[in-house]
Each structure stands twice: as C-alpha cells, then as structure tokens.
Amino acid sequence: MRIAISSTGKTTVDLLNTRFGRCEYFQIHDTESGEVKVIENKGQSAGGGAGILASNQIIDENIDVIITGNLGPNAFELIEKSDIKAYKCESIVISSVLEKYNKGELEEIQMSGPAYHGGGK
C-alpha cells in the first residue's frame, strides 16, 4: 500500500501540513517495501487550482491512502473519484502520523472542507 502524507519537510521528524493543496511536500510511504519517496507539491505555488494540481500528482503516483488535514471541494471530488481513501490528522510529526494510522486511530475524511481558492484571480 502506498500512503501519501502532506508534510512540511522531507523526513519522518518533520510535521504534517494540514493544508493539502498548498503543502510543501508529499511523503510517500510504501508499506510493503518500506521505501519512502518525497515529491515536491507543485500546488504550493499555483496561482489557482492548487488542490487540483496536488491531486493530479497524487493520482499519478498510484496512491492508495492520503493523510492530510482537510481536502477542499475540488480536491475532494478528484480523490474520491480516484478511489483513494483520505484520512484526517493534526499537525504532528510524520512518524507519529504513521503510528496512528497503523493503530487505526485516524478518522476518514467523508466530506470536503471549505474552499480557499481565489479561482485564479
């Protein structure tokens, strides 16, 4: 299983970033191989549609689970349609995020949070 976490940095001692579309990095943890891949989120500097750009990257990486703070309406639609499960977590270190996920302590994101986009103004 491939788990993507929106994060502020590249290591497991960095914090989860609760913003999905505008986070700095996505850390991708492969539970089978134990490999970790870090990708820069192109959405962080997008003029508009950051959530869509971030989702496109997640979809391209064949992710099964995304852990973040909230998903905006556009990102939520894309993630849901791609059959990717989304879980909510507060801003804690990535190692603790994974621990919580493994223990089944994270709540699934069932609906989108508020829209922040300016729509490419």
Partner 1 sequence: MVEVNKMEMNIAVLSGKGGTGKTTVSTNLALALKANYIDCDVEEPNGFLFLKPEVDKTEKVMVEYPIIDKANCVSCSDCVNACQFNALAKVKDEILLFEKLCHGCGACEISCKYNAITYQKRQTGKIESGKVRNIDCSRGILNVYEPMAVPVIRQLLKNISGGVNLIDCPPGTSCSVVNALKYASAAILVTEPSEFGLHDLKMAVGVVKMYNIPFGIVINKDDEKDNIIKRYCREEKIKLLGTIPYSKNTAVLYSKGEILYDDPYHKALFDELSKEVKDVISWN
Minimum distance between the CB of residue 84 and partner 1, rounded to whole angstroms?
Answer: 10
Give the containing element (helix H, strand E) for 87.
Answer: strand 85-88
Distance CA 24, CA 83 (A): 24
Minimum distance between the CB of residue 81 and partner 1, rounded to whole angstroms?
Answer: 4
**Quick one: 37 or 42, whose CB is closer to partner 1?**
42
**Quick one: 43 or 113, whose CB is closer to partner 1?**
43
**Quick one: 49 or 113, whose CB is closer to partner 1?**
49
**Quick one: 16 or 21, whose CB is closer to partner 1?**
21
Q: Are 77 and 119 in contact, with CB atoms under 8 Å apart? A: no
Distance CA 29, CA 89 (A): 16
CA neighbor of 24 nearest in space, from 41, 45, 36, 11: 41
Minimum distance between the CB of residue 72 and partner 1, rounded to whole angstroms?
Answer: 11
* Binding site residues, partner 1, CB under 8 A: 43, 46-50, 52-53, 55-56, 59, 74, 77-78, 81-82, 117-121
Q: For 6-114, where are the alpha helices, taking DSSP H only?
A: 50-60, 73-81, 94-102
Minimum distance between the CB of residue 83 and partner 1, rounded to whole angstroms?
Answer: 8
